[in-house]
Chains A and B, each alone.
Chain A
């Protein structure tokens, strides 16, 4: 009968492969979302400043838009927080699959 240590070794190796695949994917996703938000904020600010100078936006409009961007940033942060929780759930489920798969490989 295979030893429990074999099982632990199999789990370790399988988990390492699992982590490599998933963490790279999530890291890229988070960086992409963050950079897109910053780029958009820069463009918005330039356009609003021009609008303010040209008289197309009042000072009140300008302030409202800036505060709106802050509210939007909070909503975006909440989205990222939620997606992180979902990722944790998916990773946890993945770990469970890896452990079960390793157990089957070792003991059956």
Chain B
């Protein structure tokens, strides 16, 4: 009788544990090496291309178009991952043409043809920091192997 009572309590504990495990696994996506690499590569490419924004836009139009495509791919990849809304929102802010980070910068370059040196340098720092928030969050995510 006493043993049955203990078993019942143990069962309750196991139920609570199962509940916690289920909830903890569904809150945020796990680490993706592909997403991490994508963000690091695009950070380097973006900062590099931004440095040419003191020159006429037409000379770099193809490069900008290519970069925009890669950025859209990264955003779509992020959006398609389960439980990844936070990272997807970060990408959305970064590439928004109406915003004031990379998307807005590239749009302004296109509209104004050339941009001032100090503005370009300062924007490179902001965009670099913006990429770091994406990279920092991704690298902080739990490796799937840790959940097994």
Q: Which residues of B contact A18 (CB under 8 A)?
A: none
Residues of chain B in range 92-148 having any CB-CB distance to chain A below 8 Å: 93-94, 99-101, 104, 108, 115-119, 122-123, 125-126, 129-130, 133-134, 136-137, 140-142, 146-147
Q: For the complex, what is the distance from the CA of A85 to the CA of B23, rounded to whole Å?
A: 11
Chain A residues proximal to chain B, CB less than 8 Å = 1, 4, 40, 44, 47-48, 51, 56-58, 61, 64-65, 67-72, 74-76, 78-79, 81-83, 85-86, 88-90, 92-93, 95-96, 99-100, 103, 107
Q: List 21 A-B contacts (CB under 8 A).
A: A40-B129, A56-B117, A61-B116, A64-B100, A65-B100, A65-B122, A70-B100, A71-B93, A72-B126, A75-B134, A78-B137, A79-B137, A82-B86, A82-B87, A82-B137, A82-B141, A85-B28, A86-B140, A86-B141, A89-B142, A107-B10
Measured between beta carbons, the chain A residues less than 8 angstroms from B129 are: 40, 72
Closest 5 CB pairs of A and B: A67-B100, A92-B24, A68-B100, A56-B118, A61-B119
Q: Is B1 an interface residue (CB 8 A)?
A: no
Contact B27 A89, beta carbon cutoff 8 Å: yes
Residues on A with C-beta less than 8 A from B27 are: 85, 88-89
In the complex, the chain A residue whose C-beta lies closest to that of B122 is A65
